[in-house]
Amino acid sequence: MSPTELPPPERHPSDPLEPPPLGVPVPEAPVPEAALLTVTGLRKAFGQHEVLKSIDLEVRRGEVVTLIGPSGSGKTTVLRCLNGLEMPDAGVAEFAGQLTVDFSTPVAKKQVLALRDRSAMVFQHYNLFPHKTVLENVIEGPVQVQKRPKAEAIQSARELLARVGLAGKEDSYPFELSGGQQQRVGIVRALALRPQLLLFDEPTSALDPELVGEVLTVIKELADEGWTMVVVTHELAFARQVADEVIFMDGGVVVERGHPDTVLRDPREERTRQFVDRLLNPF
Amino acid sequence: MNINWELVWSSLGPLLMGAITGTIPLALASFSLGLLLALVVALMRLSRNRAVSAVARTYISVIRGTPLLVQLFVIFYGLPSVGITISPWPSAIIAFSLNVGGYAAEVIRAAILSVPKGQWEAGHTIGMSRHQTLVRIILPQAARVSVPPLSNTFISLVKDTSLASLILVTELFRVAQQVAAFSQEFMLLYLEAAVIYWIICLVLASGQSALEKRLDRYVAH
């Protein structure tokens, strides 16, 4: 280990003595400590091209799982399948025993909606609604879909925005914000839905380098508060600090998975080593 | 050429009445109905159901592939021979609405397709149904894109309503024809009618600018 490297992080997701800095309430866990999401045998092909060749995944409550790998490895597709944006050809997704979706049989609309209800997605390109203000972006889901009272939704949206440093930006339109600010709105829009699982699809890949930090800080704070999340990322330093498990994918299969210290510093597989080396030493 | 100012002045009243009671309500009614029809046809055209999409495609093809005057004549002079008689005003409104429906459907379809796919996904990911996403996320953004081309359609329609004079609807141009025939001042009356059409279209164009400005408030300049 080189002296500049950070020690492995210690996380206390449910330590009551350490109030979370963001204070965003984490949804109640029906079965604490159990797996929140179990995915087995996930397969997806686009025409002849097999993007996912039987992926297994388990995410426990409060855990941060990061997916890394070269582009085209299928990591984003895994995330999109979990949110019902892509329909897998086969595989089973199980949410804490309450919801089981078997993708090898036709999936009912209701089940897709139930999947989406449990997770919320943060996109690489933010995908904010350009014709709505920051506040309208955040309350759209809670008010229109979850039918929560508007006044309450506005109040909690304001609190969430303030906590990610966007107080005073409620009435701005997305185009008036920097990329980092837009992505923080994207994160708040996901949080406002009070999902059990947060999905991040390369949340900093579209940002100018100097704006990456502000977004990663927010995500790290959420992780520290005990939010469960799956993060697709190329930021290895972030994965090393925040992740409980790192999964390295290539060619639609999981090549290696494990603790970040192992996968990112001393991988067993040659392919993982090559990938990590190339990201750390591009020249 | 001596301009008969007295005639200009005395014919102005009847011509304006023709515009106010004929041209303008005909254009407004046909455009509103036509837009509704166009939205339905555009959504049918985008449907994954091939039969539904084919119906929409055929309709658009027929409307765009045949002259408006022929469409008017089929409805007003043609249909009575199969036992359907429709009086001038409804005939005109039906023909113009169908025509606007065909042209505007393609405009609306293109505008819907111009909204990035990520907007659909963002709608879905916050739990919205297809319908909710369409109405709350996609159409408002498509509206902004479609204002300039739909304004073109509207302005064309205002001028095309003059064709209704041929199926006996009393509107601006028919009044001009009648006064011209009576006074034998053809040049004067037709120019006078042209100026009134032009003024109506100028007003519409400024309305278009105002609407574009309003819808552009959320876009970087």
Write out chain B residues lying below 8 Å of A85, CB-based: 121, 124-125
Residue indicated by tokens 């796919």: B117
Residue A14's pLDDT band (cuts 50, 70, 90): very low
* Residues of chain A numbered 47-106 and touching chain B (CB < 8 Å): 83-85
pTM: 0.85
Helix axes B50-65, B24-45, angle to 10 degrees: 140
Using alpha carbons, list the distances in angstroms from residue A165 to A181, A206, A268.
Answer: 9, 20, 41
C-alpha distance from A15 to closest chain B C-alpha (Å): 30
Residues in chain B: 221
C-alpha distance from A222 to closest chain B C-alpha (Å): 19
Residue B216's pLDDT band (cuts 50, 70, 90): confident
Task: Please report the pLDDT score of residue A4 as a whole number.
Answer: 45
Which positions in chain B have a beta carbon within 8 angstroms of at least one beta carbon in chain A? 116, 118-119, 121-122, 124-129, 132, 136-137, 140-141, 144, 217-220
Q: Do B127 and A193 touch (CB under 8 A)?
A: yes
Chain A residue whose CA is closest to B216: A131
Write out chain B residues lying below 8 Å of A116, CB-based: 124-127
Q: Which of A8-12, A37-41, B82-86, B118-122 is least confident?
A: A8-12
**End-to-end CA separation in angstroms for chain A:** 21
Q: Do B218 and A85 touch (CB under 8 A)?
A: no
- Rounded distance, CA A97 to CA A246, Å? 24
Task: Please report the pLDDT score of residue A279 as a whole number.
Answer: 87
Chain A residue whose CA is closest to B144: A131
On the question of pLDDT at A5 being above 60, the answer is no
Task: Please report the pLDDT score of residue A25 as a whole number.
Answer: 65
Closest Cα to residue A220, out of A206, A234, A208, A237?
A: A237
Residue A33's pLDDT band (cuts 50, 70, 90): low
C-alpha distance from B133 to closest chain A C-alpha (Å): 10
Give per-residue pLDDT as tens, A221-235. 999 999 999 999 999
On the question of pLDDT at A10 being above 50, the answer is no
Cβ–Cβ contact A189 with B under 8 A:
yes
Give per-residue pLDDT as tens, B3-41. 888 888 899 999 999 999 999 999 999 999 999 999 999
Q: Mutation test of the interface with chain B: which of A129, A134, A146, A205, choosing the one with the most B Cβ atoms within 10 A?
A: A129
Cβ–Cβ contact A128 with B under 8 A:
yes
Q: Are the C-beta atoms of A46 and A222 separated by less than 8 Å?
A: no
